[in-house]
Amino acid sequence: MSMGKTGQQTLVFENKPGVLGFASIVGQKEYEGPLGDGFDMTLPKDDTWGEDSWEKAECKMFAEAVKMAAGKAGLKTTDLQALMGGDLLNQIISAGFAAPQIGAPFLGLYGACSTMAESLLIAASMVNAGYLDNAACATCSHFSTAERQYRNPLEMGAQRVPVAQWTVTGAGCTILGASGGNPVITHGTIGKVIDYGIADANNMGAAMAPAAYDTLKTHFTDTGRNPGDYDLIVTGDLGLFGTQALKDLLKEDGIELPNHFDCGVNIFDTENQDVHGGGSGCGCAASVLNSYLLTKLQDGTLNRILFMATGALLSPTTTLQGETIPSVAHAVVIERSN
- The reply to whether 299 and 231 lie within a common domain is yes
pLDDT of res. 271: 81
State yes or no: pLDDT of 325 exceeds 90: yes
The mean pLDDT of the chain is: 93
- CA atoms of 325 and 161, how far apart (whole Å): 18
- The reply to whether 165 and 193 lie within a common domain is no
- CA atoms of 279 and 270, how far apart (whole Å): 9
pLDDT of res. 18: 98
Q: How many CB atoms lie under 10 A from the CB of residue 3?
A: 6
- How much of the chain, in percent, has pLDDT values that exceed 90? 81
What distance separates the 2 farthest-apart alpha carbons in the chain?
56
Backbone angles phi, psi at 6, to 5 degrees: -135, 135
pLDDT of res. 2: 56
**Number of structural domains the chain divides into:** 2
State yes or no: pLDDT of 180 exceeds 50: yes
pLDDT of res. 1: 41
Residue finishing a domain among 140, 155, 177: 177
CA 337 to mean position of chain CA atoms: 22
Q: Which of 202, 155, 222, 168 is nearest to 325 (CA)?
A: 202
CA 224 to mean position of chain CA atoms: 25
Name the band, by pLDDT with cuts 50, 70 and 90, for residue 154: low
- The reply to whether 156 and 200 lie within a common domain is no
pLDDT of res. 86: 97
Backbone angles phi, psi at 315, to 5 degrees: -145, 165
pLDDT in tens, 201-240: 888 888 999 999 999 999 999 999 999 999 999 999 999 9
- The reply to whether 93 and 161 lie within a common domain is yes
pLDDT of res. 106: 98
Residue finishing a domain among 177, 211, 241: 177
- The reply to whether 19 and 61 lie within a common domain is yes
**177-to-22, 47, 84, 135, 258 alpha-carbon distances in Å:** 12, 33, 14, 7, 32
- The reply to whether 173 and 221 lie within a common domain is no
State yes or no: pLDDT of 170 exceeds 60: yes
**176-to-69, 106, 184, 263, 286 alpha-carbon distances in Å:** 10, 15, 9, 21, 14
- The reply to whether 233 and 92 lie within a common domain is no
CATH number for position 280: 3.40.47.40
Residue finishing a domain among 130, 155, 177: 177
- The reply to whether 163 and 251 lie within a common domain is no
Question: pTM to 2 decimals?
Answer: 0.95
pLDDT in tens, 262-306: 999 999 987 888 776 778 899 999 999 999 999 999 999 999 999
Domain of 223 in residue numbering reads as 184-335
Asked if 132 and 81 touch (Cβ cutoff 8 Å), the reply is yes
- CA atoms of 277 and 166, how far apart (whole Å): 7
- The reply to whether 173 and 215 lie within a common domain is no
Length of the chain: 338
State yes or no: pLDDT of 47 exceeds 90: no
Q: Which of 81, 93, 183, 165 is nearest to 130 (CA)?
A: 81
Asked if 188 and 228 touch (Cβ cutoff 8 Å), the reply is no
- The reply to whether 258 and 281 lie within a common domain is yes
- CA atoms of 332 and 195, how far apart (whole Å): 22
pLDDT of res. 16: 97
Q: Which of 155, 176, 237, 171 is nearest to 18 (CA)?
A: 176
pLDDT of res. 162: 53
- How much of the chain, in percent, has pLDDT values that exceed 70? 94
- The reply to whether 166 and 191 lie within a common domain is no
The residue among 159 and 40 whose pLDDT is bigger is: 40
State yes or no: pLDDT of 193 exceeds 80: yes
The residue among 266 and 45 whose pLDDT is bigger is: 266
Count the alpha carbons within 13 Å of 138 in the hemisphere toward its beta carbon. 38
- The reply to whether 144 and 34 lie within a common domain is yes
pLDDT in tens, 64-98: 999 999 999 999 999 999 999 999 999 999 999 99
